[in-house]
Structure 1
Amino acid sequence: MKLPRPYSIQSKFLLSLILTSLVIGGVLFAGFSTHMSQVLENVVREKARMVFGQVDSVQNYVRGILRPQMYEELPDKFIIQAMSSSFVTRNIMARDENEPSTFTYRRVAEKSRNPSYEAKGIELELIKYFRENPQQQLWEGYKNIKGEKHFVMARPAVFKKSCLRCHGKIEDAPVELIELYGNRGFNHTQDSIGGIDFVGLPVSASVAHIQETIMSYIGVFLLAVLLYLGATNMLFKRIVANNIRILTTNFRRNFSDEKGVALFREVEQEDEVGEMIGGIEKLSDYMFDARQKLQDYASNLEHMVEERTGELEQEATARQSDVELFVQLLAGSSSSQSRGELWKVALPLIHKRFNLERTAYVCTFSSKNFYSIPETPERPELPDNWVELLTDSVSLILDDRAYIPVESSSGSAEGLLCLFRKEGSSFREKDRGILRAIGRQLGIAADSISALNSIVRHNTNLQSIFEGISDPLLLADGTGAPIVANESARKLGEELSEGCITDGGVVSLLCQGWGDSANCGISKSLLMNEALSREVSLPEGRSFAINIYPIHHTENPHERRVVVYVHETTSQKKMLAQMTQAEKMATVGKLSAGLAHEINNPLGVILCYAELLKKGASGQSAEDIEVILKHTRQAQTVLKDLLNFARPKVSSTTGTEFSGIIREVADVFRIQADKQGARIDLDLDESVPKLNVEPQALEHIVANLLLNGLDAVPENEGRLKVSLAMEGAEQVVFKIMDNGPGIAQEDLQYVFDPFYTTKEVNKGSGLGLAVVFGFMSDIGGSIEVENGDEDKGELSGAVFTLKFPLTAKDK
């Protein structure tokens, strides 16, 4: 690489950049060092205050709670391990010598009772400081302890009135203290400073780490400076130095006579700019001599040259104004948040640049709005062919006015920029290109603002949808770690981890029992490019359904993503278990009813005839007949108890909100409905009063009817409609209907019989509707079934109507 001359403008420019970089680097180094030192000092100061806070907590507990209680329990004893605040504090704050020390705590005194806690060195200096400055309650600063720099925080230990029992006169002190320490540590007075609480935190390692970090940043800064200098040198050489060199070369070539060569030899020792300035000065002298010679021959040309020079100056000024205009338009478009703001910024700039009478923008395709400078209520007049101007991307520029399509590309114009000159002035031919460029730039800026607003709006909508999903949903990487999670996923993570995980990382929490596949098969789903479903159960009894959907947006397996959808199935499983139990209990009830019917009749006959025989019997026969009567009645009691056990309790002493039960059961069955492509619609009157019915009975009723409906509706088009309302003031009507095939007319009278079903084999036991019928009978209500009539607004399938009577308590 060829180095620049030491006196060239390129060398001077590089030297200026190097000096500037050194100054900036020095300022940054000093500021960063100061900031990091302040941060370190704030951290260690806060740690020291935390240690003092812990010490205060222990001492307050001993002085305010433990010591008074001990005096109350053992008034004649002094147990130092429980009643001395200093002893308890030192032992609690003591650290294992084998563990790395993060701080040093000492509670020391001058002429200490325990020689191990005698103040020395720095501690004595601090005791002296507090005695000389009694108004000071805290000292903090840096000290060297055992050759290592420490941040030290100390406070005076002042003897209060409660301390003088053990530290005052020796004759008042507990015998145990005298036996343990002799006569050391006595004869202190109230409010005197006997010692200090001392906390030291080592900072040498932290300072070294900060220095290493600063040096690393300096290295990065120097590397960046070198890269910046190299790039700037190349750009400067290409953009500035080469062009100046070309200019000076042209001077040499155009003035190659002996006098011109002599001029350049005089100035070529300067840098390029100096060479240009010197050359121009010498050239002006040279040209002046030539001008004197030609003046007599070209006196007529002088006037023409002056006019042309003025035109060129005006042209240069105009082009500079155009550049400034485009820069200001670019800055205005960057700061504008809407199209209206863009026009309010752009129109005044255009108006000022071309010294116009009126500047306006007309939105011709959308709202018919317009913006005008100065502001007027009248819309500017458009040419007759304005539609062709927009569709053909053609500008109409007349002497006193111009109509420029505002478009980002040809054929995409949506408005016209209307410019009106002041009277007596007109647009020049050279202004046409500038005006077209302004229209294109404004069109691009307007489209950019619209695109940005659309992106922000769509992002907001997607975020609202994502956060609005009630079940946990997250986007995870191949290991199950969350990338984005909704609020439900974050709440579930906090709940399962007891607040430790707040980023929605529920995969690791739910899949801990899957062994090597602790991410519930996410790796397998990505490898097979298939959606997977998992059922997991937690030790505390909760269960979840996990659905994994792979997203192949890249060929790199390490960058692939999955969508994880989690749904808690605990309530659903509990409901299914309750339904199974209800069917079992219903079966026992029906069997018991059959037994009662078949056995109670013979028992009644036996009881009747035994009563008749007893009237005519005497002696031993009467006693035998009494035995028969006793055991017959006992058998009837056993059958009655069996029936009472099998029949569930439906009445309740407390009210049950029926609409809430319906909503909970419907939420459970919506999972099954979604899998079938079915929909469950609820129309519930919230003013319905509470019913004195057990919640379990109502859950069984709703669950059985919903399950029957889901079994009957067609795949992917199923629909169930559930309603709850008052009928008069005496009863509540619960109705459920579906769009299935309905029930055959000949089967309607048997649907509530036990073990009667129209479903396929192994799809139902025939007890569900019998159980519901039994519940309604026990409640005192009724249940009816019919096929729906679409003319009445009902669905075409089966319609079950349940009526619950209201008691005085319900009302």
Structure 2
Amino acid sequence: MEQNHTLSSGISNSSIGLQSRFMLGLACIFICFCIVVTAFLYLHEKKLLEEDVYQKTELIMAAVESTRGYVREVLRPKMYEVLGDETFVLEAMSTSYIGRVVMDRFQDKLPSFAYRRVAINARNPKFEANDLELAKINYFAEHPEEDDWHGIVKSGSRHMYMRFRPVRFTPPCFRCHGDPDDAPQAVVDLYGNERGFGRRLDVVSGVVSVGVPVDVGLVPIMEVAWKVFCTTFISVFLLYGIVWFFFNKLIIRDLRGLLEIFRDNLRDEYGVQLYEQARTKDEFGELAASVQAVARHLRTTRHQLEDYAKNLEKKVEERTLALRRSEQSLREKVITRGQELRTLNTISELITQSVHLADILPKVLQQALKVIPAEGAGIYLLDRQRARLVLQCRERAEILDETIPFDPLVCLPFLDEKMLDFDRFIQEAACSRLSLTGEEAVLVNNFNVPLCCRSQVLGVMTFVGRDLEEVDVQLQELLFSIGHQIGITIESLQNIARLVESKELLQSVFDGITDVVILLDAEYRIKMVNKAFLDRHGLHLEEILNRSLIELPLKNPCPFTACRTPLAQLPETPVVEQIDGRDGHIYEVNFYPLFSDRGEVRNVVCYAKDITEKKQVEQRIQQTEKLVSLGQLAAGVAHEINNPLGIILCYTDNLLEDNEDLDPSVLEDIRVIEKHARSCQRIVTDLLNFSRSQKTDKRHGSINRAIEEVVALVRQQFLKQKIRLTLHLEDELPDIFLDLDKMKQVFLNLLMNAAHAIDDEGVILVVSRYEAEDNRLVVTVEDNGRGIDREVVDKIFDPFFTTKSQSGGTGLGLSVSYGIVRDHDGDIQVESKPGKWTRFTIILPVQPSGAR
């Protein structure tokens, strides 16, 4: 009672609460923060100012020392050489004098800079060291390793940045500053023989100083520092207000709720509420008072319990003994559970060590037998198609059947870890057989554990023996976990096998596409290619994956690199482009973009198909259709023109027969008419021959023979034109079915066109060869003439199209040749490089022996 009253009085007399102390401390921290930030900024700016001034003083000292060095090393020796050793010109030979004069001129331009070179017992009394300079001379004398001192010092009412360097005399200096007897007479006459002499080697006798006023720089720094302090103080003050607001909202409000509980429930033994004792305090003080009240109550209760303890020793001993027995039992259970857990972990490790069920299941079975009192065990997997269990492995259980009928739908109700009566369900699923063995149920018992995953039974692990009644609920839970783990593994491995099979199937389909197919990302990096791409460029899959298509060492031209549309800018619909490859082939390139969730191109399936042969077939079909239509037109026109030409020729013949009374000039005109009429008749005859489907007389013959006969026919004419005709005819070419006369017409037409394309002294090369792989003959006629322009290459087989002059031909020669080759089931192609060469290629199939 007295204790409680004393404690309450102590709490009431507390002068300041915990909340107030917290807020006061926070305010002190914020003020210190403002001071530290301001001081840091001030010192930083001051340091920058000092570094800037230091660089300026460095320039001044460097300039003075350079001048002194020039006088000492160049000018003074030269003066001695010219004037003699006893002569001394102060204005040209004294480094100190020249240095001061230079700096005096410098100070006239920049009076704010102060330069002094002083010494103890200076030769000129005006440059005797003052107190500050004496202090620095002593500093350098006491610290011989120091060669520089700089800092801000106060000189009167100004702050000056001062920099000092020691002056040490070296042997060359002793000529004028050593023994007066050795000094030049001019120096002695000028300054006397007392001041400035008697200097010692490497002893600091003076200093060089440069001073720069820094008041102009320090004032803005101080102003900025004060502004930063005020700004930071205001910001911190606002932060302090925010902290105070949220502190009261988030902490004090919760504390008040807690204190309400104390106020309503904690009472002292006189019935006075705690609120009456601590109402003069803030929330933290009241909470402290409440906690102290609880502590007092606990202390009182402890004293009461100590009194009761003496009477309860016997009961406690009994309870302790019971607890020991319970502890022993729990320890045994913990050991058992630990062993089961280790078994489960071992099984989990075994499952991850292999990807083949045949390797995993026997080891899992051995580990499971270590925790269950069974004589043997086996694992069955479900064959759903045949609705049966198939034995996969066994351990000391030869009596197990190889197959068991099984309906997995019966087992669906037990696939819940809370329902552990799964042995009954499994036996019902196994056609109500009490055992999975072929023995009588009285001889052996079975305990069955399902291997399940995602509410699906994948198999059964069965244990056989006579002591399986001892399997308790905890062990059943362990076995259910093992079965569930095995079920997950079985499904994972089966999924992996199906995935690998699907991948191989997809790859086989992908590789089965004979055209080039690749998968690129938006940066042209290769993600997947088919076998056609690898074979085309002689590459291996491992060396191109994730590499840029543009950087690959491709053996053949790649049509994808010539596409005009950037992959990253493809539209949502597939894009088709036709590409003319550098290898002369034509490709149809298809792009199928795959987009991400954000609508960006993630990958692109690129498919390229070689449509060169297709284009050539289309061109041949168009050429054939054009020939047919033009042939029909030519036949009609020829018939319409042929009749008037016959009448004209008939009358000209009559006039020429009865020419006795005609004037010779008239006869000459009639002959001109006859000549041109017959020329028209010849053209009409050619048109009729072109339009008619003439019968071909194909026989077994040699293509080389046709070439040689045509060459013999034109050789003399080519010699006159200085055209060299070269033959490279392959020996023993197989004979083919051909109309020899018409093929000679084709070769003659090609040779005459080649001769016409050669201006003078050209070369015509005729080559024949047999391509056994395609079972065909190939004949090429090549000249080094002026070539054919690209824009007319596709038109040269058109009827009436010619590049010759108006009197050079009808434009039917190549059209007729094209028709003859097509009648032989062959093909004629042209290649040309304008100004270089032209090559016609005739391809004729070699028919099997006996075919017509």
Q: TM class by shorter-chain length?
A: 0.3 to 0.5
Task: Return the index of the structure with the highest Cα Rg.
Answer: 2
TM-score by length of 2: 0.35
